[in-house]
A and B are shown apart, each in its own frame.
Chain A
């Protein structure tokens, strides 16, 4: 019932929407970033953050701080907030919230599998996993030798199982395979999430399809750029593109045959929303692309808050917080390594 959410949305979603908007108000502001960028040591960063919502999470950290501690604690705050919201949520919001974490789950699976491939310690790998993407038997992933085993042993119990159906091969795992697996999984995940949002209908469908389409297009561009010069065939490449988004289907055809960054650029400039991103980059450059995409994403995520009575705000909030944590990590790293001149290189402001 598009347009009539106002009547019924608040029955189940009102409380949590209020909560998430409250959390959003707690995001660091321009003044905060300004001050953070001027910090001389990690202690200064801690001192500054203690005046923000991160305060309670950092106050009990003993003095020689590390970047990882700061990031870990900040992530912990996000996880706590997420868990609180998930506890309060009813269907279909709870499913929606769970969908948000599947991306991290895929990343974690890939992380562990790659790690075991290079014979790293499982415990060490587990610590590196994103806490939002944890599931019960994640440690068991180390046992698997090939994808079929991976699926049959562990992933069949997780929500990722359906996404796996497309990439089951009996081949042994290697770096290339894993990367393809990640992208196939991601493609299946995005498509599934997209279908789910369409099913929800209303403003959620409208806003989320926009956000997810952007995500899908960004992935398509990244896959293309990363696969240039590798042995990935054009057909294989095309298979990794999600079947929705602005680039679907004609843009995908063109991307699939692109051979260098400038060709990708030529394809993307045909799409007005992406023109502005690529116009910022000079020819032949792909380093700054990530930042440009992040900036565009943040802009879109912030816009999601302009409309009421939809679930997109939850997605947007989680993404914004993650971006903020990435920013904090970058700032902390710059401060810790005395590279303050590069502070602004990768910080994406959220306003």
Chain B
């Protein structure tokens, strides 16, 4: 405790101290205790019944009941969706609904709803059948009337011919009928009905085959989709009439109709009867319609009442289920009268948990109180950072790489500033920055509204990172001001430019250059650089050097963090044989480069830094000549080179040997307990089992160390080079935006034509939003992410912990199925 006071209170740097606690809860108050702990949301239960399958656990029955209720609720939801109702998001407050009552109520409601549905369905089925019947009557009536009129024409020629409907066989019948007696003629039967349109071809084909062509089928298209009585879906259908002869054919046709789901309806020959039927059917239809309407109204009323309380019930059921699920994780005491829970909780929450336990004991009128006791353990506790809505998004960025080891230094603290800053270095344009700022402010202002509703995937992500984007926008406005770019246009915001033309006409501005007439431009890049021939070389040199400075600074920060880690975990080896040589190595090479850059900026020297750095290795003893920046540089370089060369074996060799020595000491006599690690609870453990007998493979350790050393030495070079992406992306961004400005907007302006100008502006806006604001943001974001994950975090961050996931109703409510 004392030690902690040495550090400033920086909550995010170290994860919360955790403890493994055991709760012994009397059976009668178990439910209430778990429920209260769920409200509190600071206790992570450990599954003590991992070997038992879900249905063998104590509360499996209750979980099944909850599952059943959840199913009923899903059914209601589905029904509400079908009826076009949405459950009102009115957060119900009367939470004292008993689970049994709710179960009964849900059961009743489901039975009601099912009955209403069944009734409605029956009615609906008759209704759609009647509708179909009506259609058949109308369409088939048309066939017959048209057939009759054509038959009338035939009749003039052939007396006594049968109705002209059999036009296929009529040519064949003609002769026969001329000779035979009309009374002996075979009477043709017919069947009428409806068949789904996509099946009609196959239907016709099968009919033809089954009857060997002795059938005549006439179809008419029904324009609107018809509700199918059986499936209740809208289907496009055809009305058909089949004419056939003979009983066998009839049976076959009926079977085929059934097989194709074609509904048959009786049809009268006689015109008068037809009219009578149509009126009859219409009358029945209107009667049914009113009944159905009443039924639907009744149903939607019922659904509405369900809708009022749906959300509340849903939450309640989820909550209950989670409580029983948690109770299933507890194991029985030997006496079978108590339940034993084990779990992790933050140390600060002990008081709260204890008072919660007391409250639960009191409320459940239990005789015995629950017992809270802290257990000693060797297991690594979960990592828990208390973040707020601002820091959580940044912590997410770190967690996406790996959750911090318990109490390890958390890069999230620095990420809050360095991440948006590195982003902004690549995205420096205060015009674009303002656009981003406005977009994210929209999200932040409407935060309350958005956080309650479900958003799309991409919007959700943007909304989650709104504070990251806010910081990114603010920083890119800042760097934009430094780069002096506003949609690639420079402004003289902070005073007059330092440079002027040699003469008023400015003829030789691009050939001979400008002269310095005023004081240096006070903030950022002088606007006159923009558009000049030396703009690129100047900005490149500036941004490149700046990238290296930023990179070396951030990598140094990373190594210093490793020092804090080593100090915190009391690992002297890591301080002396990792942190110190690493610092020396990095700074004697790239720290020196940074020094040179700063000296060169301050003195305005013409020295060639490439040359200095390269010949520092190739021929360190040569004279620097005109590249000398300060007195004694050569000896200084020799010293640095020597230090760098010494640092490599320093990193490589001592640590494995010392580890071996430590290991041997620990084994040869337990009495030689390491003095400096006595406050480590692990070493005080008398059993010491797994730790002490751990295999110590020296070759493995040395290979491991070798890999680490090589990685660091090579990494120092490649990581520094990697920071040059800051320059590259920044260059790409400014070039792209100046292309869009010059080649689109100014070009369109030059035409002096309103339409061209409008087109130009539209293209410019879309290019700016699409390419610069969306794509470039993404790419700069990714590169900033990489710089943090790889170049910064690999210096110190292990990230092999696991997250604290407390049992909390707030989290349960958030879960969507």
Contacts and interface: CB of A to CB of B under 8 A. Distances in A.
B515 interface: no
Contacts of A91: none
Q: How large is the interface on A (under 10, 10 to 19, 20 to 34, 35 or more residues)?
A: 20 to 34
B759 interface: no
Given A35-B53, A38-B53, A44-B55, A136 B252 contact: no
Interface stretch (B6-14, B256-264, B414-422): B256-264
A60 B74 contact: yes
Contact of B202 (A38, A47, A136, A152): A136
Given A47-B60, A47-B67, A153 B210 contact: yes
A141 B54 CA distance: 47
A153 B67 contact: no
B259 A143 contact: yes
25 contacts: A35-B53, A35-B55, A39-B55, A40-B55, A43-B64, A47-B63, A48-B53, A48-B55, A51-B54, A59-B71, A59-B74, A61-B71, A62-B71, A63-B68, A122-B258, A136-B202, A139-B259, A139-B261, A140-B206, A142-B255, A143-B206, A143-B252, A152-B209, A153-B210, A157-B205
A61 B92 CA distance: 28
B75 interface: yes
B199 interface: yes
B259 A153 contact: no
Contact of B256 (A48, A50, A61, A143): A143
A124 to B, nearest CB: 13
A154 interface: yes
Q: How large is the interface on B (under 10, 10 to 19, 20 to 34, 35 or more residues)?
A: 20 to 34
Contacts of B260: 137, 139-140
Nearest to A62: B71
Contacts of A154: 206
Contacts of A48: 53-55
Contacts of A51: 54
Nearest to B71: A60
A169 to B, nearest CB: 19
Interface string A129-152: 000000011011111000000001
Contact of B258 (A43, A50, A139, A157): A139
Given A60-B71, A60-B75, A63-B68, A142 B259 contact: yes
A1 B68 CA distance: 56
A35 B50 CA distance: 13
B149 interface: no
B209 to A, nearest CB: 5
Interface string A147-165: 0000011100100000000
A140 B262 CA distance: 12
A164 to B, nearest CB: 15
B176 interface: no
Contact of A140 (B55, B67, B259): B259
Interface in A28-63: 35, 38-40, 43-44, 47-48, 50-51, 59-63
B206 A38 contact: no
Interface in A10-44: 35, 38-40, 43-44
A153 B56 CA distance: 55
Nearest to A36: B53
Given A39-B55, A140-B260, 20 more contacts: A43-B55, A43-B64, A47-B60, A47-B64, A47-B67, A50-B67, A59-B74, A60-B74, A60-B75, A62-B71, A122-B258, A137-B260, A140-B206, A140-B255, A142-B259, A143-B252, A143-B256, A143-B259, A154-B206, A157-B202
A139 B257 CA distance: 10
Interface string B364-390: 000000000000000000000000000
Nearest to A138: B259
A139 B206 CA distance: 11
Interface string B186-200: 000000000000010
Interface string B166-188: 00000000000000000000000
A38 B258 contact: no
3 closest residue pairs by CB, A with B: A139-B259, A35-B53, A44-B55
Interface in A178-194: none
Most chain B CB inside 10 Å of its own CB: which residue of A59, A137, A140 = A140
B579 to A, nearest CB: 44
Interface string B69-111: 0010011000000000000000000000000000000000000
Nearest to A40: B55
A39 to B, nearest CB: 6
A157 B252 CA distance: 19
Nearest to B258: A122
A250 B769 CA distance: 76
A79 to B, nearest CB: 18
A59 B321 CA distance: 15
Nearest to B206: A140
Interface string A278-318: 00000000000000000000000000000000000000000
A43 B202 CA distance: 44
Nearest to A116: B255
Nearest to A149: B210
A37 B254 CA distance: 48
Contacts of A142: 255, 259
A48 B57 CA distance: 12
A28 B623 CA distance: 75
B53 A122 contact: no
Contact of A122 (B64, B75, B209, B259): B259
Contact of A136 (B60, B63, B199, B256): B199
Contacts of B54: 35, 47-48, 51
A48 B64 CA distance: 11
A123 to B, nearest CB: 8
Nearest to B75: A60
A178 B261 CA distance: 26
B158 to A, nearest CB: 35
Contacts of B68: 63
Contacts of A137: 202, 206, 259-260
A257 to B, nearest CB: 42
B55 A153 contact: no
Contacts of B205: 157
Interface in B245-295: 252, 255-256, 258-261
A241 B571 CA distance: 77
A173 B55 CA distance: 50
A137 B204 CA distance: 12
Nearest to A143: B255
A172 B55 CA distance: 54
A91 B355 CA distance: 69
Nearest to B199: A136
Contacts of B256: 140, 143
A125 B339 CA distance: 54
Contacts of B258: 122, 139
Interface in B193-240: 199, 202, 205-206, 209-210
A140 B257 CA distance: 9
Nearest to B68: A63
Contacts of B255: 140, 142-143
Contacts of B53: 35, 38, 48
A223 B84 CA distance: 58
A339 B390 CA distance: 60
A58 to B, nearest CB: 10
Contacts of A153: 206, 209-210
A39 B60 CA distance: 12
Contacts of B202: 136-137, 157
A11 B603 CA distance: 61
Contacts of A157: 202, 205
Contacts of A143: 206, 210, 252, 255-256, 259
A63 B205 CA distance: 45
A61 B67 CA distance: 11
Contacts of A136: 199, 202
Contacts of B71: 59-62
Contacts of B259: 122, 137, 139-143
Contacts of B55: 35, 39-40, 43-44, 47-48
